[in-house]
Amino acid sequence: MAEASAGKKRKVVSEGSQPQPCNGFSVPGLTLQDFRFKAPLDYFSDSTTHIDIFVRFVEGTNKLHTKQPYLLYLQGGPGFEAPRPTEASGWLRTAVNSFKVVLLDQRGTGRSTAITAAFLARLGTSEKQAAYLQHFRADSIVQDAELVRQLLVPKEMQEGRWAILGQSFGGFCCIQYLSAAPQGLTEVFLTGGLPPDVAQPCPADSAYRALYRRVLLQNAKYYVRFPQDIKLVQRIVNYLASQPEGGALLPNGTILRPRTFQMLGLQGLGSSGGFERLHYLLETAFDGPDLSMSFMKGFESWMPWAANPLYALLHESIYCQGTGSRWSAHRVRLAEFRTEFDAAAAAANGHPVNFTGEMVFPWMFDDFAELRTLKATAELMAQKSDWKPLYNCQQLHSTSVPVASASYYEDMYVDFDHAQATAKHITGIRQWITNEFHHSGLRDDGQRILEVLMAFSRGMAPLS
């Protein structure tokens, strides 16, 4: 496998890169300061195109000393901005007791130069859009982080290095960081963020096979929890299948077909409280013989494509090194799970309808109004076969940076066994392996999880 260290990165820290301070403000228990940076679109060429990178520095108002080390938080996704704190709570409350926290809006999201359908349209052809989008993966996110670190972390503080915390896809970015720039790191914390089998060029097919099986288990658990929803879901699917276009037209122009409806499992099946939120949405489904406006608007709010199209465009590429995904989740579904996820057939025959999970499909760019203009671009991204390598297994084997991971045994989004195939390449990794949490563990009990990971990283918890 090609290693992530291949290729020469040009020097990017220059006078023009200096941070521009923005607003400063406070929320209960926290003080916040915003900064904006100019970063190259492409770190690996001589392109002169630049984009904005936005970061927010967060400190506790009751900090014991001012010279705290820095902690970079990398958000899950891909394609989602950093959290917007409203108070000192959860993992952030714990973090600010020990660190000055840096919240990075990963390139293409939030207040960094954001990728939207309208923005991409201004670039021109689908080929130009795809060429632009190839610079928004973990390798470029890590180089943005390095630019921020070199400019803002004082040299006298741990030699200018910082700690990093990665949730989900943010953990994938952390492992890329550990591969490409370990000299900038003091310690690494991962929550549901060990990427699958990094020694493989593209483990997407095998990862999706495992994830589909996990999704089927979650569906079975859901219907044990809410058996009354079996018939309700069948009724919804039968209603959608009977419509003239095979689906109902939603207020935003999306066509809600059975396959589109199944995507509620993305948020409803794999996180704490997801079963309940899904049930409460489904129970509003009908207003007389037709779908209710409450349900239709609720469905729209569950789908993030208008504000975050990067997720749909780049999701499968996060697995790719030197080869393309070619719509991996779709191919695996048709080849191996066609019957289990055939919603219309299940409903018509009186069987439970299975929802899908964290998968993207080519027909999403037909059904979802917000994605239709991006269909040709998505196809180019799926077929792209020359993705740069993301991970360097030799570097991971030789790392001296402490790594601590919360690894969730029943994770619906990051398959446990595939994550363990990666863990064996990381020298000295300490894992907290548990089925106590879902993928949303950092959100659900972040204070406890971060405390455990810090203890693991710093040798405060004994080896077992």
Is 179 a catalytic site residue?
no
Judging by DSSP bridges, how do beta strands 20-27 and 30-40 pair with one another?
antiparallel
Euclidean distance between CA atoms 112 and 122, whole angstroms:
17
Euclidean distance between CA atoms 172 and 390, whole angstroms:
9
Residue tagged active-site, from 46, 65, 301, 386: 386
**Furthest C-alpha separation in the chain:** 68
Two tokens, residue 49: 């195109």
The residues facing 58 across adjacent strands are 32, 101
229-241 and 274-282 helices, crossing angle to 10°: 60
Is 168 a catalytic site residue?
yes
Residue tagged active-site, from 168, 206, 328, 405: 168
Is 439 a catalytic site residue?
yes
Contact 136, 317 (CB under 8 A): no
Stated as kind and residue range, the H or E segment containing 246 is none
Residues 6+ apart with CB under 8 A from 215: 265, 269, 354, 355, 356, 357, 412
Q: How far is CA 52 from the centre of its chain?
A: 20
Residue tagged active-site, from 315, 330, 438, 439: 439
Half-sphere exposure of 278 (CA within 13 A, CB side): 29
Measuring CA to CA, how many Å separate 192 from each of 381, 416, 443? 26, 9, 12
- Which residues belong to the active site? 168, 386, 439
